[in-house]
Chains A and B, each alone.
Chain A
């Protein structure tokens, strides 16, 4: 944390004007909005809502939007942290958030390996395949909801 605060990123965040933090914070929130908005729709579909909407058709836009949102949030997050990194030492919500994000990414890797996901263009998935996707969708929702909740609570510790 001390290293992060003293890094070039930390200096840039502190020394580039009074609106810097606000603008980077805005970009972070936009990233989260894109990520969670898209993930929420896709996860509900995986859980079995809107079953008449073809999964493949829904996956194409939502995965791209979620990925872009994640990239935006992941680029701005470390900058926000670096501003006053040492202030977050001992804040329990930060590690919770980071673990939830790591699990969310792990879950994505798992989903992409699922035979059911690879067969998502098939409109007639079997029960066990639908169940696999539903579990993955539920896990995804849990991870991202935890990440967002813990992230917000960082400011209140």
Chain B
């Protein structure tokens, strides 16, 4: 009985590791292809959790730019106040599947001659 419970527990644990990173704020709601978008910063970078964010005006709309989690975003060199409000930036990432939701999960932000790769492995 004890051995059987242990076996079930171990199998469950193994299974939970084999499930790929479905976790938290998945990218499933965003299109697969990566695209660029150029606009002006409306609201500067916020390093508040769970994800760092900024807002830019591009293509006639205000877009919510979802960045990496705060620590990761900061490590890419992108901190609060790094890019001033009103600056022109180009973001590269995956747009929301819902055309009415102006949101992009962003892998890279370019500003002036600087480049911040918040999700370098997703390029």
Contacts and interface: CB of A to CB of B under 8 A. Distances in A.
A25 B25 contact: no
A20 B49 contact: yes
Contacts of A19: 70-71
A155 interface: yes
A156 B69 CA distance: 16
A89 B71 CA distance: 26
Contacts of B47: 14, 18
B25 A156 contact: yes
Contacts of A84: 48, 53
Of the candidates B49, B50, B69, the one having the most CB atoms from chain A within 10 angstroms of its own CB is: B49
Chain B binding surface, main DSSP class? loop
A18 B70 CA distance: 5
A21 interface: yes
A83 B24 contact: no
Interface residues of B, number: 14
B26 A156 contact: yes
A22 B51 CA distance: 10
A155 B49 CA distance: 12
A21 B52 CA distance: 11
Contacts of A141: none
B25 A22 contact: no
A94 interface: no
Contacts of A42: none
B24 A22 contact: no
B119 to A, nearest CB: 16
Contacts of A18: 47, 49, 70-71, 74
B97 to A, nearest CB: 13
Of the candidates A18, A83, A156, the one having the most CB atoms from chain B within 10 angstroms of its own CB is: A18
Nearest to A21: B49
Interface of B: 24-26, 29, 46-50, 53, 69-71, 74
